[in-house]
Amino acid sequence: MIQEIFHPILKDRLTLMRRKETPAKDFRQAVEEIATFMIYEVAKNFKLQEIEIETPITKCKAKILAEEFGIVPILRAGLGMVSGALKVLPNAAVGHIGLVRDETTHKPIEYYKKLPPNISSKKIIVVDPMLATGGSSSAALQMLKDAGAKDIVFVCIIAAPEGIKKISGDHPEIPIYTAAVDESLNENAYIVPGLGDAGDRIFDTL
């Protein structure tokens, strides 16, 4: 399932990210703000449980989140979305999956993995700004499944049709949330029109 999120503020920040003259500071801030907007949207489907609390006036029924959460960025660009996600889910555990794309084969190569404990009992939110070929994202999702994760959501800022097809084919049960579905990939497997290399622009390593 693919869900493109529409919100005027989100689209405004996305335009800021796309502009090539946007400095790293403003790019990072836009990534964080978009991540916050997107996690709020994803949270519409979170489960609630009813409890009894006491206000300064009286006892009453109230609702709290019924699940535990884990946020897992795909390194390194996914790190830019973590602080925004934690603004919505401050108690979430944070894991990390490190994958680098071979620039010749475009295949993902794992170099780091540290996942939240009790992963099978948590709703896992995987974050990565770009869903291009889908190779790295699909590999990360499979790593989480192999570790015991049963409830996974994938959140990206920009997605290419090729990446959506890859994830939907390999992991049809995992919903994909994105702020924009772009046209295609170019010959170098970059999203068009896209915004360039998100990791380089977040960390100012162009």
Q: For position 137, which CATH number holds?
A: 3.40.50.2020
- C-beta separation of 127 from 157 below 8 A: no
Q: Look up 76 and say whether it is catalytic.
A: no
* Domain interval for residue 12: 2-203
pLDDT of residue 106: 65
- Per-residue pLDDT of 110-120, as tens digits, reads 899 999 999 99
Tens of pLDDT, residues 11-61: 999 999 999 999 999 999 999 999 999 999 999 989 999 999 999 999 999
pLDDT for res 109:
85
Q: Is 105 a catalytic residue?
A: yes
Helix spans in the chain (H): 8-18, 24-42, 79-88, 135-146, 161-170, 198-203
Q: Which of 101, 102, 151, 201 is catalytic?
A: 101
Would you report the helix, strand and coil content of the chain in percent, each value rounded to 5? 35, 30, 35
Asked about 58 being catalytic, the answer comes back as no
Residue 189 pLDDT = 87
pLDDT-derived band at 206 (thresholds 50, 70, 90) equals confident
Catalytically annotated residue among 200, 201, 204, 205: 200
User: How many domains does the structure of the chain reveal?
Assistant: 1
Marked catalytic residue, from 55, 58, 104, 105 = 105
Mean pLDDT of 176-195: 94
Which helix (DSSP H) or strand (DSSP E) does residue 10 occupy? helix 8-18
Residue 197 known to be catalytic: yes
Q: Which residues contact 16 (CB under 8 A, 6 or more apart)?
A: 22, 26, 27, 30
